[in-house]
Every structure is written in structure tokens, then in C-alpha cells.
Structure 1
Amino acid sequence: MNIMIIGGTSGIGLALAVHYAAQGAHLALCGRDLARLDGHPLASAQRVRTYAFDIADRAAVAGAVQDFGGDGLDLLIVTAGQYVDAAGLSAEPALGLGLTQTNIGGLVAAFDAAGALMRGQGRGQIVVVASIAGLLKAYPADSLYSASKRAAIGICDTYRKALAPWGIAVTTIVPGYVDTARLRELNGGNAGGKPFLLTEEDAVRRMIEAIEQRAVRCVFPWQLHWMVRLFNLLPSGLRNLRRK
């Protein structure tokens, strides 16, 4: 099985790679900084190839997909993404463009590159790890991050319909808070205050199950999903009080 993971050099992407490596898959691990793999067993594994690129670089994405997928591409997983909070955007507005180019433009680039290759095969699966923030309805004080993830979920839904005639499945994974190194970094070293926080192991297990089932969408945990649903029912004035 040939699997490419964009965002596979750290966090959930790397954890998924460890699982598939143990299954004997041939892997392509992609990220902006391959130094993140230094010292990791997969960095020198025989069945693993690495590619350094920014997902927002459309040509680089297409080149890597074509290079690795020359013998076929069974599964593309996209975990790459950027997060910037309201304070960060206020201090440096240009960060918003980078977030948009990564979370939206980069995702489209990945779909186009993998979709073209998989259409020729007549098979394949594309998996995108989004965020439960993307299930929040738009409102005046909505964060750019939530808007980008809402767009990402919509992109998945659109490409799913477009690629279905070629037997290509699209799975959208919509997790809540996962106790990754990145989340801890964003929260002063401790993400324990986040509601319904999942361990990385638990989140990865759920993702693998959804991928194997070729699920259309997998949202978890259910408790946070229901909180989002209730939040969406509030008047926009009350929703505007939400902290970014």
C-alpha cells in the first residue's frame, strides 16, 4: 500500500505514519521542515521517502505526488494546517493570509494533484483532518481559523462528489481537542483545560477506523460535537461573546 501524508513529520500525521509503517506500507512523509524527523526511526526506514515542501506551493505538491505516486497512490492523508488566534492576527495581520493559503489553497492543491493521479488509476482515497471548529456556523465575530476549517470541510464535500465517479473516496475527519505537542505549545505547555481533551493515541485510533471504513465524515468526541450544535443555536449576539 502506498500512502502519502502531508503534515507527516510531526503530531497526528507522524502518529498515523507509525501505524501504517507497522502495517508494511510504503510511505511518503511530507512537511515544511524535515528536521522534525531527526532521530525518529521512520527517518531512515527503508519503505519511507520524505519530501520537503509547503502545501501552499501548488507546484511542489503536484511534483511530490507525481514522484511518489508513479507506482500508484492508494491513500493521501492531509493533516497539515495553520492556526492563528485573534491576538496573533491583530499583531501581525499578514499571518491571516498564510493561514488561508495553507488551510484552503493548500488543501485544494492536494486534492487536484492526488485526484488527477487517482483518476488515472480508477481508485484511491483522500483523507483530510479538519477541526470541529469548522462545524461552527458563521457569525460576525467568527474567527478566521474557524472560517478556514469550515471552508476545508466544504472543499472535502465538493471533491467527494466530483471524484466519486472514478471510485475515489474522500473521508473528512473532524476532531475536537487532541493532546498533541502543538496544542500544548499553544496553551503554555498544558492543554489540560480544554474540554473533552483526547489523547493522541485515542484520536489516531478513531481516525484509522474511519479511514478503514472509508467513512464520509468522522466527528469526535460526541460531547464536544453536541456543544457545538448547541452553540450554533444561540443568537449571534451571544455567539459573539465567544473567546477566540
Structure 2
Amino acid sequence: MNVMIIGGTSGIGLGLAQHYWRQGARVAICGRHPNKLEGSPLLREDRISVHACDIADRAAVARTVAAFAELDLLIVTAGQYTDAAAIARDPASTLPVLRVNVGGLDHAFSAAAEAMIARGRGQLVAVASIAGLQRDYPGGSLYSASKRAAIAICDVYRKALAPFGIGVTVIVPGYVDTARLRELNNGDAGGKPFLMSEQEAVRRIAAAIERRDERCVFPWQMHAMVGIFNRLPVFLKSFRKK
């Protein structure tokens, strides 16, 4: 099997790259900063290739996908986050969120779908966020909106590509104890509710991909919390930190 992971140089993406390599797959690891993998034993393996690729650059994504022959599985874990405080300081901080979480996902899916249609098989996967299940409300976060868009993009591609035998899976995780989440929380993500280890998240994601699930949401406790939040009056939602 030939697997490409965009956003695969760290976190969940790297964990998935290791998983599929152990399964015997040929794996292309793509990201803006491939030097993050310097010293990794994966670089010595002949079934691993590493590619510098900015998902926000449509042409670069198309070239990278085209260079990886007979793609069976594309996984997009690349994402950008910004909070309300950062946006207040610099309104331009919204643009990377839009370019990566929305435009970038479309770039990747479009390029991979073209390659897979020619073969009549394949699977596209995006790792979104449980934040994307929150209904919009006045003052809702840009990040949540971008992840709602990512989930919707997956739904559109699924319908469009079903006649060609191409599956689309969207992964909707809660808090996962990655280095990035710890960085965003002053080095410690332990206070996040229902925090899941990176290894457990990778296991669940790989299982959902194997089953060719349309949507996989976990953990169930966070899913339930979002459902309750969606039913709150708007004035109560406004107290939520962005």
C-alpha cells in the first residue's frame, strides 16, 4: 500500500506514518519543515520518503502528489490554530488558519482524487477536530469554524467520489496529548478534559481508516459535552474561552 501523510513530520501525523510503515506500506511524509525529522531512524528506511510541501500552496501539493506513484491512501493532519487574543493583536493571524485548514485541505483532496480516479480506488482522510462539531454562535472561534468547514469538505468529496470507488473518512478527535497541544498550554496539557495519549489516538484513527468509516468521533465523553454545549442558550455560550 502507498500512503501519503501531509502534516506527517510530527504529532499524530508522524505516529500514523510509523504505524503504516510497520504495516509494510510505502510512506511519503510531507510537511513544511522536514528538518523536524533529522536524526529519526525512519529516514534510514527504504519505504520512507520525506517531502517539503506547504499544503497552502496548491501547485506544490499537486507536484508532490503527482510524484508519488499509485497513491492508495492520503491522510491530511496538517492544521493551523490561532486564538482570539492572537487575532486581537494581529488580524492577519486569521489567514494561515484559512489557508491551511480550509484551502489546504481542498488542495490535497483535489490532487489526490485526480490520481485515484484514474485507478478507480483509494481513500482520502482528514483529521479535523471535535471543535468542528460546535454549532456557530456570535463570538464563536475561527478555529471551530475552520474545522466545521473541514468536516463539510469531507462530506462533499465523499458524495462526489463515491461513484469512482474512492472513500472519504473524517476523523474528529477531542484533546490529544501532542507536543503542539502542550506548547499551546504552557508545556502541560494535563488539564484538558478527557485527554487521550497520542498512541491511543493513532490506534483509533488507523482502525477507523481500516473500516473505511465515513466519520469517527472520539472520545465519546467529549462528543457528549459538545452536544450539551450546542443546546445552551447563546448568552451562556458567550462565556466560553476561545
- Taking structure 2 as the reference length, the TM-score comes to 0.99
Q: Which residue does 1:192 correspond to in 2?
A: 190
Q: Distance in 1 between matches of 2:40 and 2:90?
A: 34
- Return structure 1 stretches of 4+ with deviation > 3 angstroms: none
Q: Distance in 2 between matches of 1:208 and 1:98?
A: 28
Q: Distance in 2 between matches of 1:22 and 1:209?
A: 15
Q: Distance in 2 between matches of 1:189 and 1:241?
A: 25
Please state how far the C-alpha of 1:88 moved relative to its aligned partner.
1.0
Q: Which residue does 2:144 correspond to in 1?
A: 146
Q: Which residue does 1:117 correspond to in 2?
A: 115
Q: Which residue does 2:88 correspond to in 1?
A: 90
- Structure 1 residue corresponding to 2:125, chosen from 101, 113, 127: 127
Q: Distance in 2 between matches of 1:139 and 1:193?
A: 25
Q: Distance in 2 between matches of 1:44 and 1:200?
A: 23
1:200-235: per-residue Cα shift (whole Å, max 9, x none)?
Answer: 111111001100000000000000100000000011
Please state how far the C-alpha of 1:51 moved relative to its aligned partner.
1.0
List alignment gaps of at least 5 residues for structure 2. none
Q: Distance in 2 between matches of 1:168 and 1:46?
A: 28
Q: Which residue does 1:45 correspond to in 2?
A: 45
1:15-50: per-residue Cα shift (whole Å, max 9, x none)?
Answer: 001111111111100000011101111123111111
Q: Which residue does 1:217 correspond to in 2?
A: 215
Q: Distance in 1 between matches of 2:33 and 2:186?
A: 23
Amino acid at match of 2:92: A
Please state how far the C-alpha of 1:80 moved relative to its aligned partner.
0.2
Q: May I ask how many residue pairs the two structures share in their alignment?
A: 242
Q: Distance in 1 between matches of 2:24 and 2:203?
A: 17
Q: Which residue does 1:4 correspond to in 2?
A: 4
User: Is it true that 1:60 corresponds to 2:68 in the alignment?
Assistant: no
Q: Distance in 1 between matches of 2:43 and 2:226?
A: 39
Q: Distance in 2 between matches of 1:236 and 1:97?
A: 27
SS, match of residue 170 in structure 2: strand
Q: Percent sequence identity over matched residues?
A: 64
Q: Which residue does 1:33 correspond to in 2?
A: 33
Q: Distance in 2 between matches of 1:30 and 1:41?
A: 16
Q: Which residue does 1:24 correspond to in 2?
A: 24
- Superposed, 1:95-114 pairs within 5 Å as 95-114=93-112
User: Is it true that 1:229 corresponds to 2:222 in the alignment?
Assistant: no
Q: Distance in 1 between matches of 2:169 and 2:175?
A: 19
SS, match of residue 139 in structure 2: coil
1:101-148: per-residue Cα shift (whole Å, max 9, x none)?
Answer: 000000000111001010001000001000000000000010000000
Q: Distance in 2 between matches of 1:9 and 1:31?
A: 6
SS, match of residue 133 in structure 1: helix
Please state how far the C-alpha of 1:168 moved relative to its aligned partner.
0.2
Amino acid at match of 1:82: Q
**RMSD between superposed Cα atoms in Å:** 0.6
Q: Distance in 1 between matches of 2:20 and 2:207?
A: 12
Q: Distance in 2 between matches of 1:231 and 1:93?
A: 27
Please state how far the C-alpha of 1:238 moved relative to its aligned partner.
1.0
